[in-house]
Structure 1
């Protein structure tokens, strides 16, 4: 996920200061890792450096002094370009679950037990996400984010089922090599 583009997208709705951008990010992307304040301000400085955002003023409004940022026309064009760009599907599997199963097979571990335990963890997380998205007052960002995560967890579960059914032949392959 491009923090740079996410912050540009949040700035596209109007001028904002770093604290507000961080809060809005965490609200709009509830299942994502929360942004650290340092990351927000570093990214804002880079956006200004690159001409994609600019300082729109400073003020304190009864509190600490805050710098207000806004997207530039170049920033709006960059955001439009990025948002329309198709994200290529990952060409290779880079999943820790896959790696642990392979290592377990190679080292004569117990991949069946690992898959069983991992399946239980996935099902538990799916229950949590389902509760989050069906909670009264769940906003659209929360529902969409939970649906995205649930779909990926479901795909992992299907892979675990398929792999579990193939463990004996996979182990036999390793023994003959």
Structure 2
């Protein structure tokens, strides 16, 4: 995730102070890695320094003054440029799930060894997480953002489950290849 670009996108809908940006981030990206307030303010400083955002005033809301920031035309251009770049699919398999299965296969000594045990446990964990996302997206008052994030996560979990099932079905052949 590109924190500067995400904050610019949030500013594109209107000027906001850092606290407001943090709340908007949490609302729009509920399943993303949490964003700390310090990260919001340090990113706003860099965006301002680089001419992508600017101070647009000061607000007092139940406490200290809060500086309000707005996106600049240069910031809009930067955001559009970022959105024009298609993300390439990952060139390498660097998933911990894959790595652990290969490592378990290398250690397997029994028919129902480490790899099968690991894959079955991982399958249960994936199914549990899928239930969580399904409940989140079907909950009363679920935002469009929460539904979109849940659907994205569910699609990835589903792909992992299909791979887990395929790998379990190939376990005998995999074992023979790894440990002839």
Q: TM-score, normalised by structure 2?
A: 0.94
Aligned to 1:43: 43
For residues 106 and 59 of structure 1, the distance between their equivalents in structure 2, rounded to whole angstroms, comes to 61
State whether structure 2 residue 176 is matched by structure 1 residue 172. yes
CA-to-aligned-CA distance 1:125-151 (integer Å, 9 cap, x gap):
101110110111111001000000000
1:57 positional shift:
2.0
What root-mean-square deviation, in Å, do the aligned CA atoms of Structure 1 and Structure 2 show?
Answer: 1.1
For residues 170 and 97 of structure 1, the distance between their equivalents in structure 2, rounded to whole angstroms, comes to 16
For residues 147 and 111 of structure 1, the distance between their equivalents in structure 2, rounded to whole angstroms, comes to 29
Aligned to 1:72: 72
1:84 positional shift:
2.4
Runs of 5+ consecutive residues of structure 1 not aligned to the other structure: none
For residues 170 and 58 of structure 1, the distance between their equivalents in structure 2, rounded to whole angstroms, comes to 63
For residues 165 and 61 of structure 1, the distance between their equivalents in structure 2, rounded to whole angstroms, comes to 60
Count of aligned pairs between the two proteins: 176
1:58 positional shift:
2.2
Runs of 5+ consecutive residues of structure 2 not aligned to the other structure: none
Instruction: Give the ranges of 4+ consecutive aligned residues of structure 1 lying more than 6 Å apart after TM superposition.
Output: none
Q: How does 1:147-162 map to 2 (within 5 A)?
A: 147-162=151-166
Assess, with a 3 A threshold, how the Cα gap between structure 1 residues 46 and 114 changes in structure 2: closer, same or farther. same
Q: TM-score, normalised by structure 1?
A: 0.95
Match of 1:137 among 141, 144, 148: 141
1:94 positional shift:
1.2
